[in-house]
Structure 1
Amino acid sequence: MPRPSHKRRVLHVASECYPLIKTGGLADVVGALPIALDETGAVESTVFLPGFPAVLAGLTGIKTYAKLTALDGSPVRLVSGTTQTGLSVIAADCDTLFGYDGNPYQLADGSDRPGNGIAFASFSKLAAQIATGINRKRGFDVLHAHDWQAGLAAAYLKTEGADVTTLFTIHNLAFQGLFPKELLASTGLPNSVFTEEGLEYWGKLSFLKSGVTYSDWVTTVSPTYALEIQMDEDGMGFGGLLRSRSDRLRGILNGVDQTVWDPATDPTIFAPFSASDLSGKAKNKAALQDELGLSRAAEGPLFCVISRLTGQKGLDLVPDMLDGIVARGGQMALLGSGDGVIEQAFLAAQKRHPDHVAVKIGYDEPFAHRLQAGADVILIPSRFEPCGLTQLCAMRYGTIPVTSRVGGLMDTVIGATPATQAVGAATGVTFHPVNPHMLWAAIDKSIALYANKFEWSQMVATAIAQDFGWTAPARDYLELYQT
Structure 2
Amino acid sequence: MDILFASSEAHPLIKTGGLADVSGSLPRAIRNSKQEIRLILPAYPAAVKAAGTLKTIATLKVTGANNPVRLLQGRLPHTRVRLYLVDCPQYFDREGGPYSKPDGTDWPDNADRFALFSRVICAVAMNRAGLDWQPQLVHCNDWQTGLVPALLSLEAERPATLFTIHNLAYQGLFDRPAFERLGLPQTWWAMNYLEFYGHLSFIKGGLVFADWINTVSPRYAEEICTPQFGCGLEGLLTRRKSHLSGILNGVDYRIWSPSRDPLIARRYTARTLRLKLENKRVLQAAFGLPDDPFVPVFAHVGRLVDQKGIDLILDLLPQLLQRHLQLIILGTGQSALEAALRDAGKQYPERVGVRIEYDEALSHQLEAGADAFLMPSRFEPCGLNQLYSLRYGTPPIVNNTGGLADSVTDASSENLAAATATGFVFNKPEPKPLLGAIDRALDLYAEPDRWKQLMQTGMQQDFSWTRSAAAYLDLYTRLAPASP
Structure 1 position 298, deviation (Å): 6.4
Deviation at 1:480, TM superposition (A): 1.6
Match status 1:376 vs 2:368: no
Alignment pair present for 1:191 and 2:191: no
**Unpaired runs of 5+ in structure 2?**
479-484
Q: Distance in 2 between matches of 1:284 and 1:169?
A: 36
2:317 maps to amino acid = L
Whether the 8 Å CA contact 1:295–1:355 is kept in 2: the answer is yes
Determine the structure 1 residue equivalent to 2:18: 25
- Mapped contact 2:65–2:90 kept (Cα < 8 A): no
**Does residue 62 in structure 1 map to residue 80 in structure 2?**
no
- Choose which of 50, 70, 73 in structure 2 pairs with 1:80: 73
SS at match of 1:316: helix
Q: Which moved more, 1:202-211 or 1:406-415?
A: 202-211
Q: Is the 8 A contact 2:225 2:237 kept in 1?
A: yes
Match of 1:221 among 216, 222, 230: 216
| Conserved? CA contact 2:277–2:293, under 8 Å | no
Q: 1:136 to 1:309 in 2, by over 3 A?
A: closer
406-415 or 152-161: bigger deviation: 152-161
Q: Which amino acid aligns with 1:45?
A: I
- 1:410 maps to 2:402: no
- How far does residue 224 in structure 1 lie from its aligned partner after superposition? 0.4
Write the letter of the residue equivalent to 1:122.
L
The residue that corresponds to 1:122 in the other structure is 116
CA contact (8 A) 2:410 2:425 kept: yes
Does the 8 A contact of 1:300 with 1:450 survive in 2? no
Question: 2:221, 2:341 → 1: CA distance?
Answer: 33
Say whether the 8 Å CA contact 1:382–1:404 is kept in structure 2. Answer: yes
Using the TM superposition, give the Cα deviation of residue 73 of structure 1 relative to its aligned residue in structure 2, in angstroms. Answer: 2.9
CA distance in 2, matches of 1:309, 1:208: 24
CA distance in 1, matches of 2:355, 2:31: 37
Q: Which amino acid aligns with 2:120?
A: L
Contact 2:283–2:369 (Cα < 8 Å) also in 1: yes
CA deviations on 1:173-203 (whole Å, 9 max, x unpaired) are 0001111122233334322222222111122
**Structure 1 gaps, min length 5:** 1-7
Secondary structure at 1:395 match in 2: helix
Q: How many Å apart are 1:403 and its aligned residue?
A: 0.5
Between the aligned partners of 2:62 and 2:352, the Cα distance in structure 1 is: 49
- State the partner residue of 1:270: 265
Of 291, 295, 299, 1:296 maps to: 291
> Shift of the alpha carbon at 1:353?
1.8
Quick one: distance in 1 between partners of 2:259 and 2:319? 34
Match of 1:169, SS state, is strand
| 1:258 and 2:250 aligned | no
User: Per-residue CA shift, 1:3-31, capped at 9, x if unaligned?
Assistant: xxxxx111111111000100100000000
Moved more, 296-305 or 430-439: 296-305
- The whole-number CA distance in structure 2 between the counterparts of 1:448 and 1:136 is 61
The answer for the alignment partner of 1:422 in structure 2 is 417
2:105 to 111, 130, 134: 111
Aligned residue for 2:329, secondary structure, equals strand
Deviation at 1:324, TM superposition (A): 3.0
1:194-238: CA deviations, max 9, x gaps? Answer: 222211112221110100111111000000000000112221111
Q: Where in structure 2 are the equivalents of 1:241-390 lying within 5 Å?
A: 241-297=236-292, 299-390=294-385
Superposition pairs for residues 3-14 of structure 1, below 5 Å?
8-14=1-7
* Counterparts of 2:73 and 2:471, CA distance in 1: 28
Deviates more, 1:80-89 or 1:366-375: 80-89
For 1:297 and 1:477, locate their aligned partners in 2 and report how far apart those are by CA, in whole Å: 45
Q: CA deviation at 1:440?
A: 1.1
Q: In 1, distance between residues paired with 2:368 and 2:82? A: 31
- The CA deviation at 1:300 is 2.8
Amino acid at match of 1:455: R
In the alignment, what sits opposite 2:482? none
SS in 1 for 2:37: strand
Q: CA deviation at 1:161?
A: 2.5
Q: Once the 2 structures are TM-superposed, how far is the Cα of residue 63 of structure 1 from its aligned partner?
A: 1.0
Residue in structure 2 matched with residue 89 of structure 1 by the alignment:
83
Contact 2:297 2:372 in 1 (8 A): yes
Question: Match of 1:337, SS?
Answer: coil
- 2:32 is the counterpart of 1:39: yes
- The percentage of counterpart residues that share the same residue type is 42
**8 Å contact from structure 1 (residues 270, 287) kept in 2:** yes
Q: How far has the Cα of 1:136 moved from its partner? A: 4.8
C-alpha spacing 1:480/1:154, structure 2 compared with 1 (3 Å):
same
The separation in 1 between residues aligned to 2:232 and 2:10, in whole angstroms, is: 28
Residue aligned with 1:183, SS? helix
Match of 1:50 among 30, 42, 46: 42
After TM superposition, the runs of 4+ consecutive aligned structure 1 residues lying more than 3 A away are: none
SS of 1:318's partner is helix
1:459 counterpart (450, 454, 457): 454
Question: Is the Cα–Cα contact under 8 Å of residues 281 and 293 in structure 2 kept in the other structure?
Answer: no
1:404: Cα distance to partner? 0.4
Task: Give the 3-state SS of the residue equivalent to 1:198 in structure 2.
Answer: coil
Output the amino acid matched with 2:199.
K
Give the aligned residue type for 1:97: Y
Question: Does 1:205 find its partner at 2:200?
Answer: yes
| Segment drifting more, 19-28 vs 79-88 | 79-88
Q: Secondary structure at the match of 1:225?
A: helix
Distance 2:155 2:177 in 1: 21
Distance 1:440 1:393 in 2: 23
TM-score by length of 2: 0.96
Query: Is the 1:71–1:118 contact (alpha carbons within 8 Å) kept by the matching residues of 2?
Result: no
> What SS is found at the alignment partner of 2:332?
strand
Query: What is the number of residues matched between the two proteins?
Result: 475
Write the distance in 2 (CA, Å) between the matches of 1:273 and 1:467.
Answer: 17
Q: Deviations over 1:25-58 (max 9, x none)?
A: 00000000001111112x2111111110001111
Instruction: Determine helix, strand or coil for the equivalent of 2:306.
Output: coil
Aligned to 1:449: 444
Question: TM-score, length-normalised on structure 1?
Answer: 0.96
The answer to whether the 8 A contact 2:65-2:88 is kept is no
RMSD: 1.3
CA shift, 1:351, in A, is 1.2
Pair 1:136–1:414, CA change in 2 (3 A): closer
User: Amino acid of the residue matched to residue 55 of structure 1?
Assistant: A
Contact 2:220-2:380 within 8 A present in 1 as well = yes
Which residue does 1:100 correspond to in 2? Answer: 94
Corresponding position: 1:182 with 2:177: yes
Partner-residue secondary structure (3-state), 2:307: coil
